[in-house]
Structure 1
């Protein structure tokens, strides 16, 4: 991995140069009307009429999403695992992190992530940390993604792999590339998938202190 000068932040050591209010906080403006416009297999689309600070109202359309998880899997050589998947809305084959929906009620997020790593990439990991939380497009959807860092990884033996892959999953090649090279490919416009971009850059930054500043795998979501 290339050397870098990123100073890993620590929640226990707030910077005196940054105002304490620079953090996302929960807030809910009054909704005076709501209408569902569409309901599909995964998402629905609704319009909320929201009261604005001046007392007026404005309609806000957004997609309601169950949420997702994604995994930055690193091997002992500092390489990151990427899969390639066809994304029909973009008409592109995108290099991505193993990821999936939070579609099992009550399933811990780290268990969901481990399941996706196994199903999509045929790998398992022994060490898990919370890497970063992302709102994918907060102006148009409530989808949130928790991205995990997975280490001490190993392939799942073929005889233990009983998952049946369908549709896009049938043709998803897996590659391992150096994390620094993945960063270069993000910054040069070769990797575009939003959780992949966030996860790769976050992992590179967090590697500055050997990932000591990361939250535990079961850290609560804000």
Structure 2
């Protein structure tokens, strides 16, 4: 048996959107189950996101600490952001987020992982990039506001982040997946075997 996720869409005889927010909305679908019954499913409709695990020449990861109100925590995270424009090239979005949140640019980009962070309650898809050959970006720093105005930046050795994940001290999904995936890549065929930055992404199709 091949262990691989496959696209599939069950019949939806009725749908509605009871809430529309600034960036996301909530959809209610009536879904026909395999036994013929109909079940109602509420979920967040999300434009998608990108995240960047930026690794410097000393093996340290660029991380930031930001307040996340829904969970009432300040979380250590990797730079990330929404795909604000439908059909936007995710690499361009990732480069923008790395500049805006960390004022960093990178010379080498790879796809580290593609994930659905919460597929039972949201259609959000996230592409996590690995960025290497990093240096300070040109120009002025991006003006921050709201939660980002209180953001802290640091560079942390990869093994220390892995330790924090396994100890239950770090919880952000993109950071967790990113550092463990990179550790697995180093232990396997190496990062040069990772998919190229422009690899297809069926969850959020884009133009190269």
TM-score range, shorter chain: over 0.9
Instruction: Work out the number of aligned pairs and report it.
Output: 201
> Where does 1:117-128 land on structure 2 (aligned, <5 Å)?
117-128=98-109
1:115: how far off?
A: 0.3
Alignment of 1:154 with 2:135, yes or no, is yes
Structure 2: distance between partners of 1:210 and 1:105? 33
Structure 1 length normalisation: TM-score?
0.88
**Equivalence for 1:167:** 146
Ranges in structure 1 where 5+ consecutive residues have no aligned partner:
1-18
For the 8 Å contact 2:15–2:29, the answer to whether it is kept is yes
**Equivalence for 2:198:** 218
RMSD: 1.1
**Equivalence for 1:8:** none
Structure 2 length normalisation: TM-score?
0.94
Alignment of 1:57 with 2:64, yes or no, is no
Partner-residue secondary structure (3-state), 1:95: strand
Residue deviations 1:70-99 (CA, integer Å, cap 9, x gap): 000001111111100110001110000100
1:37 to 13, 18, 38: 18
Ranges in structure 2 where 5+ consecutive residues have no aligned partner:
203-208
1:63: how far off?
A: 0.3
> Where does 1:1-222 land on structure 2 (aligned, <5 Å)?
19-20=1-2, 22-157=3-138, 160-208=139-187, 209-222=189-202
Runs of 4+ in 1 over 4 A off after TM superposition: none
**CA 1:83–1:162: 2 relative to 1, 3 Å:** closer
